[in-house]
Amino acid sequence: MVSPTPGPPSCSFFSSQTHTLTKRKMSLKKMLTAAINQGVPEARARIFGHQLNPSGQKSPHKVLRMKLFGEKVAQWYPHDINKDDPLVMARQEQERLSKLEMLKRRGKGPPKKGQGRRAAKRNK
């Protein structure tokens, strides 16, 4: 498309050439964005060990990926030697029974079965 007159080329030539350049740029831009939108999540999933879920449906993978925490929680609490040692348990039981006997002597012990506060309330 060369103009017949010598001089500067016609305006239509430059406008069509710039139009094709911008069209190429836009298509290149679209291609890059499409590649980025498709490739980045896949690469991210591969790097960080995630599951790719393009459909967006609910998946149990998040729950399955979590670490088990029962043993970790149990490690926070110290081991209770009272439950292991029968002598410690027997001593505690003996203290409880002696305290209960002392309260009964003073008349502050627990009532007999069926003669508590609720039973007294019912008889009124």
Alpha helix (H) residue ranges in 49-124: 61-65, 70-76, 81-84, 86-106, 117-123
DSSP 49: T
Higher pLDDT residue, 3 or 87? 87
The region, left, alpha or beta by phi > 0 then psi within -120 to 50, assigned to residue 36 is alpha
Determine the pLDDT at residue 107: 92
**pTM over the 0.85 mark:** no
Q: Is the pLDDT of residue 100 over 90?
A: yes
Mean predicted confidence (pLDDT) in 1-21 = 51
3 within 8 A of 10, measured Cβ to Cβ? yes
As a whole number, mean pLDDT of residues 21-48 equals 74
Distance, CA of 18 to chain centre: 52
Per-residue tokens: 111: 């009532």
Contact 109, 103 (CB under 8 A): yes
Largest CA distance in the chain: 130
Tell me the C-alpha distance between 50 and 65, whole Å.
9
Residue 116 reports pLDDT greater than 60: yes
First to last CA, the chain: 116
